[in-house]
Amino acid sequence: MVTVQILGAAYARVAFGEERRRWDASVPCHDCNAAKGQLHVLGCDVEECPKCASHLVTCDCTNAEPADDDDDASERDDADP
């Protein structure tokens, strides 16, 4: 299974023709030429985000940085003036 990392979790990528929004998959993807049932090329602007169902290249899901677990917020009073 091919996945995409979103906020530290792995989501199965959405193949062409399997979008939640109905998409005409009777012709290859106009952007990356994927055939129905194939995954888009990474960065294709047609690929749907498996999390929010908007365009994967433009939604914020993969742009957001995962929370940094190494950062202890309770010890934050040593900031320089």
The footprint of Zn ion (CB under 5 A) covers 29, 31-32, 34, 40, 44, 46, 49, 51-52, 59, 61
Q: Which is nearer to Zn ion, 64 or 69 (CB)?
A: 64
Provide, rounded to whole angstroms, the least separation between the CB of residue 79 and Zn ion.
33
Residue 15: other Cβ atoms inside 10 A: 18
Comparison of 1 and 63: residue with beta carbon closer to Zn ion = 63
CB of 64 to Zn ion, least distance (A): 9
Interacting residues of 13 by C-beta distance below 8 A, sequence separation 6+: 2, 3, 4, 39, 40, 47, 50
Position of tokens 């742009």?
63
